[in-house]
């Protein structure tokens, strides 16, 4: 049963520290997404990649967030320096266009999330 | 810009009964997809069902069906024979040609025994 994996599952850190979250997409999926979920804002798209190339990172605070995909099996989201307002659950998802290959049919499968608390 | 509206913050349903969760969408695209996800208290996001804008038949997946009314721009999720394990947050989302999903604010469903 193929799944998206994320590490760490939980992270508690102090303000100013660097946080790195990792994601392993489902093998064969070409699109990888990073979302942030908070009670106030709901689910927000931060960035996404297609065939490892960044397509859109307009949802990310550029001064402190960075997202990369060094290879097809690893996506990273880094926060440096972290702030208390970054406390949230961060989800990674990978997209499966299905047999039709249509982008409208691309189903996103989510990882379990990283629950981040910045003190 | 696309938008998803879920007007029911919370709903109750009796076990074994059917329930409909509302979702309306706003898009100027001719082609788009509509998705429903379930988020139980454990936090993971679980894909439930997909409907394409040009699909003529309403999508069904087991106890889940999507009541798609294109003219009304609605994509309601129907859960038949509710089970206690269906208690969760449910999110409606839409996609466009940019691969992005736009999510609604969600509906919390509580199934009563």
**Would the pLDDT of B19 be above 90?**
yes
pLDDT in tens, B33-56: 999 999 999 999 999 999 999 888
Beta carbons within 8 Å of A30's beta carbon, 6+ residues apart: A50, A51, A95, A97
What are the chain B neighbours of A102 within 8 Å (beta carbons)? Answer: 52
Beta carbons within 8 Å of A86's beta carbon, 6+ residues apart: A19, A64, A79, A116, A118
Q: Do B95 and A104 touch (CB under 8 A)?
A: yes
**Would the pLDDT of A100 be above 70?**
no
Cα–Cα distance measured from residue B42 to residue B45, given in angstroms and rounded to the nearest whole number: 9
Phi, psi of B39, rounded to the nearest 5 degrees: -125, 100
Average pLDDT over residues B69-80: 96
Beta carbons within 8 Å of A8's beta carbon, 6+ residues apart: A21, A114
Phi, psi of A86, rounded to the nearest 5 degrees: -85, -5
Is B46 an interface residue toward A (CB < 8 Å)?
Answer: yes
Average pLDDT, chain A: 92
Cα–Cα distance measured from residue B88 to residue B90, given in angstroms and rounded to the nearest whole number: 6
Query: Cβ(A92)–Cβ(A25) under 8 Å?
Result: yes
Query: Cβ(A94)–Cβ(A32) under 8 Å?
Result: yes
**Would the pLDDT of A62 be above 90?**
no
pLDDT at A102: 65
Distance from CA of A81 to the nearest CA of B (A): 26
Is A33 an interface residue toward B (CB < 8 Å)?
Answer: yes
Cα–Cα distance measured from residue B104 to residue B80, given in angstroms and rounded to the nearest whole number: 22
Distance from CA of B51 to the nearest CA of A (A): 8
Distance from CA of B10 to the nearest CA of A (A): 15
Of A48-57, A73-82, A85-94, B92-101, minimum mean pLDDT range: B92-101
């Amino acid at each position: 049963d193929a799944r998206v994996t994320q590490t760490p599952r939980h992270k508690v850190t102090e303000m100013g520290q660097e946080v790195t979250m990792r994601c392993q997409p489902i093998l064969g999926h070409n699109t990888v997404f990073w979302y942030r979920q908070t009670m106030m804002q709901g689910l927000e798209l931060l960035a996404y990649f297609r065939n490892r190339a960044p397509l859109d990172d307009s949802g990310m605070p550029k001064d402190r967030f960075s997202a990369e995909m060094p290879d097809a099996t690893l996506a990273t989201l880094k926060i440096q320096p972290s702030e208390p307002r970054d406390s949230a659950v961060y989800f990674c998802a990978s997209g499966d266009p299905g047999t039709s290959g249509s982008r409208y049919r691309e189903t996103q499968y989510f990882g379990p999330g990283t629950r981040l608390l910045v003190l | 810009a696309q938008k998803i509206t879920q007007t029911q913050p919370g709903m109750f349903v009796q076990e074994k009964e059917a329930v409909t969760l509302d979702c309306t969408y706003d898009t100027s695209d001719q082609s788009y997809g509509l998705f429903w996800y379930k988020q139980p208290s454990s936090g993971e996001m679980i894909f439930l069902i997909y409907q394409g804008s040009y699909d003529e038949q309403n999508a069904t997946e087991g106890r889940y069906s999507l009541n798609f009314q294109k003219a009304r721009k609605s994509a309601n999720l129907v859960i038949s024979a509710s089970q206690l394990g269906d208690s969760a947050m449910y999110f409606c989302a839409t996609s466009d040609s940019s691969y992005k999903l736009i999510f609604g604010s969600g509906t919390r469903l509580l199934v009563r025994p």
